Amino acid sequence: MQKVPLLIIILILLFSCNGKNNSVKSNFSFAATQLTLAIRETEKGISENKAKNYVAPRTIDEAGKLVLSPPREWTSGFFAGELWYMYEFTQDDKWKKAAQQYTANIEQEKTNGTTHDMGFKLYCSIGNGFRLTKDEHYKKVLIEAAYTLASRFKPQAGIIRSWDHSNDKWQCPVIIDNMMNLELLFWAFKETQDSTFYKIAVSHANTTMKNHFRKDYSSYHVVDYDTISGNILSKSTHQGYSDESAWARGQAWGAYGFTMAYRQTGDTAYLNLAKHIVNYIFTNPNLPTDLIPYWDYNAPNIPNEPRDVSAATCTASALYELSLYDKANSTQYRNWADMILKNLSENYLAKKGGDYGFLLLHSVGSKPGNAEVDKPLVYADYYFLEALLRKKQIENN
């Protein structure tokens, strides 16, 4: 066999590594432009509406105006999270300062026990802040937040209650989204060694695994429990097309949530479920060829239905992580995630220097509620940056 000089091998490796990360770099460069604008627009919105206590951008409304979130909304932590991801990628203190500033405004939510959204709000913001800075103050806030979240656990049903609203419809509703909030509890267990956090998270994941999924591994959105007997009262939807349909973001929350739960526990039942959910998504005849799903896999007017980019970015991020655990399907998962990111960068980006600094267009908040339909959404952008970072990490390794 002919010997290839070492220098040539090193050069080939260097070039291929560079090439792989090019799309990550160009997307982060785009994000830098957009998020600089987003900070400016958000500051303006905050100062013009002081009484509203806004802390972050959320979306753009029908009139083309920027919509901001107060801390209590489930979307309040994603913007700070994006700024932490910018800092992680660039290592530029400018982004760290901005992230710290926006993170501070969400802290007060640590004692808000009226919703399950603590993970979305505090783990995506302060959690990333702690991961990157090891700031002890962040740690204290997160532990307090985890205790607040744990206080929503209903032992007879074995779950954390998601919502307190709509008492006429549900007694103790649990939505598939709630899987995402468990990461805060797993983190708190590692930091405090208080096994209560671990037991609650595992109980919630096991109960969700048992009750939320259909035979084809699509999931219900809402499962309602009787908190005295623990019995299931109903299975339904809130943001999907129908009770028996597969709401696109719900499938993404499930894929991401059970992949994360496997990372935290090593329980292969979670890994297998994540694989089945991904299989459901990618073998679905209603998944478009560009892999950006319609807002519901059973939406009635496909192909004339809005896409949900937020479901796609969350799925892409989950796929990169899953590719690390399921070696047999690793290449396939990475290819799907790469294709999602490529198609988003080519066809779904916001206007550079416009759209109030959002990164991606064409998400859906709630189609049945006629809210945020075919709009940019801050959480779509957050999982986009997370997926890009995961791609970079995998390719560098």
Binding region for ligand GLY (CB under 6 A): 74, 177, 239, 249
Residue 268: C-alpha distances to residues 186, 271, 283 (Å):
17, 5, 22
Residue 301 tokens read as 């007017």
The values of phi and psi at residue 285, to 5°, are -65, -20
Query: What is the largest distance, in Å, between two alpha-carbon atoms of the chain?
Result: 76
CA distance 44 to 37: 11
The answer for residues whose C-beta is within 8 angstroms of residue 130's C-beta and 6 or more apart is 138, 139, 142
For residue 210, how far is the Cα from the chain centroid?
Answer: 22
Task: Name the minimum Å distance from CB 379 to ligand GLY.
Answer: 7
Structure tokens at 246: 């597969």
Structure tokens at 280: 């459901």
Q: How far is the CB of 60 from ligand GLY (least distance, A)?
A: 17
Nearer to ligand GLY, 179 or 340 (CB): 179
Task: Between 150 and 314, name the residue whose CB sits nearer to ligand GLY.
Answer: 314
Cβ proximity to ligand GLY: between 161 and 249 the closer is: 249
Rank residues 112 and 272 by Cβ distance to ligand GLY and give the closer one: 112
Minimum gap (Å) between residue 22 Cβ and ligand GLY:
32
Residue 122 is given by DSSP the state I
Q: Which is nearer to ligand GLY, 143 or 261 (CB)?
A: 261
**Closest residue to bound ligand GLY by CB:** 177
Rounded to the nearest 5 degrees, what angle is found at the Cα of 83, between the Cα atoms of 338 and 350? 55
247 backbone dihedrals φ, ψ, rounded to 5°: -65, 125
Partners of 66 in the β-ladder: 60
Shortest CB 352 distance to ligand GLY, Å: 27
- The CB-of-116 to ligand GLY minimum distance in angstroms stands at 9
Taking the C-alpha atoms of residue 290 and residue 110, their distance in angstroms, rounded to an integer, is: 39
Gap between the Cα atoms of 42 and 101, Å rounded? 12
Residues assigned a catalytic role: 117, 177
In the complex, what is the shortest distance from the CB of residue 377 to ligand GLY, in angstroms, rounded to a whole number? 9
Please identify, using beta-carbon distances, which residue of 98 and 361 lies nearer to ligand GLY. 361
Any residues with CB less than 8 A from the CB of 378 and at least 6 apart, and which?
Answer: 56, 57, 58, 59, 69, 75, 78, 79, 82, 358
| Residue 394 in tokens | 């995998």
Name the H helices within 67-127.
Answer: 78-90, 93-104, 118
Report the residue number, 70 or 230, with the smaller CB distance to ligand GLY. Answer: 70
In whole angstroms, how close is the CB of 131 to ligand GLY at the nearest point?
A: 22
CB of 74 to ligand GLY, least distance (A): 5
Angle (nearest 5°) at CA 243 between 241 and 249: 55
CB 280 within 8 A of CB 293: no
In the complex with ligand GLY, the residue whose CB is nearer, 249 or 391, is 249
First to last CA, the chain: 28
Distance CA 205, CA 268 (A): 13
